[in-house]
């Protein structure tokens, strides 16, 4: 009798387990509970998904903490507020800001679709996932799960302070924004399969500060194994640390950054971190132009000067697709007149100023494209070129280098005649979110946008950008230092302004020497 009863009980257990409740297509179960998004044509879209506990109260200036489970169904249909910052993002802003968004073409959890994870730029002082240009619909329709991650910015994201270092188990502080990104990637590893994404095919990508963050994640042991490819647009951070920072030499050591933290507390008018945590987030001074708003070499998240890490092969060796825009210097001017330019170069580059002025000469009356290229290369070009060179020398994974030069053809008598592609323009092209109401947008713009979005999504799918739909893109090697020039057409070519880059390279080599370090930091 007991055997019969047991058999009946076992049968009902099996029956119940096989008849588990099937969720509607707009609902997904993750580790913390059930989420409800929306269906947009052929996509499922989930916005405002929490991936860590709100970093508020005692959690301000601490590494992100695990998220508590919720009961019932959590709506995920609207963007969450952006992090606290000086600007006014569309979705509002809040200290409770650790959320991500997902666009997925997958129909169920068995699809195993490659994953692209977007990290926004904004100088590490502003930015949001809700900017319309970051809408992931078009990329997702090219066969990837598109995820965008929020992270703390400004002093709330990167402030270092001796008291914060003392209370930390790692004896460091700062880099909370980078730790937010890592927490988001950990959440993706745990949960993305529920959205039909493949946790073994995750590619991170970002532009400007987002591209710099990508390079830092590639160098961070804390991010090891969390992604399998990396795309950096106008990013890279291969310059040495410097007490007084400049674009391309933005990094400080932990002791330098802790000094900034002490000054920041004085600015706020408090004497302790306990008191600083009591200040309303709206009243905290935030933004660029003051210390504590940039990642640092802390020996923990970022172990060392990234150039040295790559030289010694101490990085996360994954395929990379990296590049920059032709006229980044338009957005980072070095003076309005040739004399202003020369004085600014001498102030920053010291003993190397004359060589660099010769390599990047100004015009007689205007600061010309050749001069603007110095800022382009000091902030982005040299870093990206160095990244490709170092990875091709010390890594097993391939590097693909590009140069984006798509812009209107200005008439010769126009003041814009020598203008190329400024900073940030590439984002709309990659996401296929170009403003088609703009009268300057041409058929060529739409064509190169489609090519770029195909290269980017191919890279997420295959670990390389190539397919039959686009021109072949060869990897960058010492023996074949080729660059994909993305302009009215996509074609391979040489490294732009290589002779000038070599002069810039000599400057950075000297800066990494004892003499150069002493000159910059004394």
Q: Which of 220, 328, 334, 485 is catalytic?
A: 328
Cβ atoms 459, 409 nearer than 8 A: no
- Interior CA angle at 463 toward 461 and 465, to 5°? 80
C-alpha to C-alpha distance for 298 and 288, rounded to whole angstroms = 20
C-alpha to C-alpha distance for 53 and 140, rounded to whole angstroms = 28
For the question of residue 423 being annotated catalytic, the response is: yes
**Measuring CA to CA, which residue among 308, 350, 307 is closest to residue 519?**
350
Cβ atoms 127, 215 nearer than 8 A: no
Exposure class string for 472-487: b at 16+ Cβ within 10 A, else e: ebebbeeeeebbbbbb
SS3 144: coil
| Cβ partners under 8 Å of residue 164, min gap 6 | 61, 173, 174, 261, 273
For the question of residue 383 being annotated catalytic, the response is: no
CA 483 to chain centroid = 21
Q: Which of 134, 423, 449, 453 is catalytic?
A: 423
Q: Which of 125, 130, 193, 208 is catalytic?
A: 208
For the question of residue 515 being annotated catalytic, the response is: no
Structure-token pair, residue 298: 């802390």
C-alpha to C-alpha distance for 183 and 196, rounded to whole angstroms = 20
SS3 101: strand
Structure-token pair, residue 517: 């370090």
C-alpha to C-alpha distance for 320 and 182, rounded to whole angstroms = 18
Measured CA distances, 199 to 42, 113, 118, 250, 421 (Å): 22, 9, 15, 33, 35
C-alpha to C-alpha distance for 517 and 519, rounded to whole angstroms = 5
Helical axes 338-349 vs 369-376, angle rounded to 10°: 30
Q: Which residues are annotated as catalytic?
A: 208, 328, 423
């Amino acid at each position: 009798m007991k055997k019969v009863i047991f058999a009946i009980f076992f049968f009902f257990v099996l029956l119940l387990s096989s008849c588990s409740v099937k969720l509607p297509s707009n609902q997904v179960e993750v580790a913390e509970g059930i989420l409800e998004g929306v269906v947009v044509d052929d996509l499922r879209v989930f916005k405002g998904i929490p991936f860590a506990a709100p970093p508020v109260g005692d959690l301000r200036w601490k590494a992100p903490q695990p998220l508590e489970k919720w009961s019932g169904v959590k709506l995920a249909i609207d963007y969450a507020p952006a992090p606290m910052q000086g600007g006014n993002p569309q979705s509002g802003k809040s200290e409770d800001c650790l959320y991500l968004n997902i666009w997925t073409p997958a129909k169920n959890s068995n699809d195993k679709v490659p994953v692209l994870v977007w990290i926004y730029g904004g100088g590490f002082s502003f930015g949001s996932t809700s900017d319309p240009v970051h809408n992931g619909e078009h990329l997702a329709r090219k066969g990837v799960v598109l995820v965008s991650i929020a992270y703390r910015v400004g002093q709330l994201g990167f402030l270092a302070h001796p008291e914060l270092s003392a209370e930390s188990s790692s004896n460091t502080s700062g880099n909370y924004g980078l730790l937010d990104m890592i927490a988001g990637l950990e959440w993706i590893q745990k949960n993305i399969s529920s959205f039909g994404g493949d946790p073994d095919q995750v590619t991170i990508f970002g532009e400007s500060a987002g591209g710099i963050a990508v390079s830092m994640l590639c160098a961070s042991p804390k991010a090891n194994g969390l992604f399998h490819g990396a795309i950096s647009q106008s990013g890279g951070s291969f310059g040495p640390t410097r007490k007084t920072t400049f674009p391309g030499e933005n990094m400080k050591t932990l002791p330098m950054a802790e000094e900034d933290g002490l000054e920041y507390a004085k600015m706020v008018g408090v004497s302790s971190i306990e008191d600083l945590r009591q200040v309303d987030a709206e009243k905290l001074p935030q933004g660029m132009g003051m210390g504590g708003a940039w990642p640092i070499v802390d020996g923990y998240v970022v172990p060392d000067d990234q150039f040295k890490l790559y030289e010694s092969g101490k990085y996360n060796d994954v395929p990379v697709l990296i590049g920059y825009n032709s006229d980044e210097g338009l957005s980072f001017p070095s003076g309005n007149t040739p004399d202003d330019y020369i004085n600014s170069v001498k102030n920053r580059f010291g003993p190397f100023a004359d060589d660099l002025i010769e390599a990047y000469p100004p015009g007689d009356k205007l600061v010309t494209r050749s001069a603007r290229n110095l800022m382009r290369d000091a902030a982005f070009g040299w870093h990206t070129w160095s990244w490709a060179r170092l990875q091709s020398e010390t890594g097993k994974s391939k590097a693909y280098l590009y140069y984006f030069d798509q812009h209107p053809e200005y008439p010769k008598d126009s003041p814009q005649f020598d203008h190329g592609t400024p900073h940030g323009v590439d984002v709309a092209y990659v996401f296929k979110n170009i403003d088609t109401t703009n009268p300057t947008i041409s058929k060529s713009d739409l064509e190169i946008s489609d090519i770029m979005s195909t290269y980017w999504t191919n890279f997420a799918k295959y670990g390389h950008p190539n397919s039959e739909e686009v021109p072949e893109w060869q990897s960058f090697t010492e023996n074949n230092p080729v660059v994909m020039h993305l302009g009215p057409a996509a074609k391979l070519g040489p490294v732009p302004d290589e002779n000038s880059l070599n002069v810039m390279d000599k400057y950075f080599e000297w800066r990494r020497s004892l003499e150069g370090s002493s000159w910059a930091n004394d």
